[in-house]
């Protein structure tokens, strides 16, 4: 557990985790952090991975790893790993896409953080996942946020986030299982691809799906595809905008979907430039 190879801010992060505190590196916003070379803000992704797995720490705290206003340098690769503590990044800038395919985490929080992609297909999370006011800017034919086949043991909250992909879908969550509610309120998703901007085909939501004031835009295909989705509670897309552009498919697809309570599109705009809405 030698910490001599860690930078000063990385050693401070070790101490914060042990004490159950969040480490805030300063006051830079994510846009400025993304281009900063100031050592006070730089934390290596490999160090975060090692800390999540228990390296450098004798006794982990249930509050987990919580880091604010830092630049994460390098690739944060958690594929098929099982961190012993949860991960929270607030108002951070992450250099490379985060990969968590097949990983198992206690909980996950990204608040106000900028990330160039998340690949988390098959991820298992014991508690909640929060991607709140987070910006995902990707250039991937696989998706900006990929979470197909994942299981989330609590709520999945994406309130106020922005997912943008210039080469593929923005949100790919086919066969996702959420043991709680899915909140897409005020989210903005934009893509330019033949498949839907937001994909929830075959998903299972044990609570409600909330998408009030959401904006889903696809320049070349449907806005939302949720065939065979099952929602135990209500599905609310009030005052939302779903704008598609596909000659065969509508802006919103819900073939075979089941909603246990209310399905509400009050005040919503559903528009497909090339075909049926």
The pLDDT tens digits of the residues spanning 181-218 come to 999 999 999 999 889 999 999 999 999 999 999 999 99
157 touches 186 (CB < 8 A) = no
pLDDT value of residue 17: 94
**What is the pLDDT averaged over residues 119-147?**
97
Domain boundaries, the chain: 1-76, 97-272
**What is the pLDDT averaged over residues 164-192?**
97
pTM: 0.94
Whether pLDDT at 155 is above 80: yes
């Amino acid at each position: 557990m030698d910490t001599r190879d860690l930078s000063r801010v990385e050693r401070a992060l070790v101490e914060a985790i042990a004490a159950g505190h969040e480490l805030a590196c300063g006051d830079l916003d994510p846009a400025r952090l993304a281009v900063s070379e100031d050592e006070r803000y730089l934390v290596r992704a490999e160090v975060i991975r090692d800390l999540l797995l228990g390296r450098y720490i004798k006794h982990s705290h249930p509050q987990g790893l919580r880091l604010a206003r830092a630049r994460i340098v390098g690739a944060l690769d958690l594929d098929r790993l099982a961190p012993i503590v949860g991960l929270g990044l607030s108002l951070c800038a992450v250099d490379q896409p985060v990969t968590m395919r097949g990983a198992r985490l206690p909980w996950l929080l990204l608040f106000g953080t900028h990330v160039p992609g998340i690949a988390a297909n098959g991820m298992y999370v014991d508690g909640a996942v929060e991607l709140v006011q987070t910006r995902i800017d990707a250039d991937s034919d696989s998706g900006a946020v990929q979470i197909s086949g994942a299981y989330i043991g609590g709520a999945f909250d994406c309130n106020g986030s922005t997912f943008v992909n210039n080469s593929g879908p923005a949100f790919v969550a086919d066969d996702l299982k959420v043991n709680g509610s899915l909140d897409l309120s005020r989210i903005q998703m934009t893509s330019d691809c033949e498949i839907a901007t937001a994909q929830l085909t075959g998903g299972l939501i044990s609570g409600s799906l909330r998408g009030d004031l959401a904006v889903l835009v696809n320049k070349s295909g449907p806005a939302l595809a949720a065939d065979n989705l099952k929602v135990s509670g209500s599905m609310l897309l009030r005052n939302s905008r779903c704008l598609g552009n596909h000659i065969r498919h509508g802006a919103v697809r819900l073939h075979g979907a089941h909603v246990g309570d209310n399905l509400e599109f009050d005040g919503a705009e559903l528009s497909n430039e090339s075909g049926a809405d």
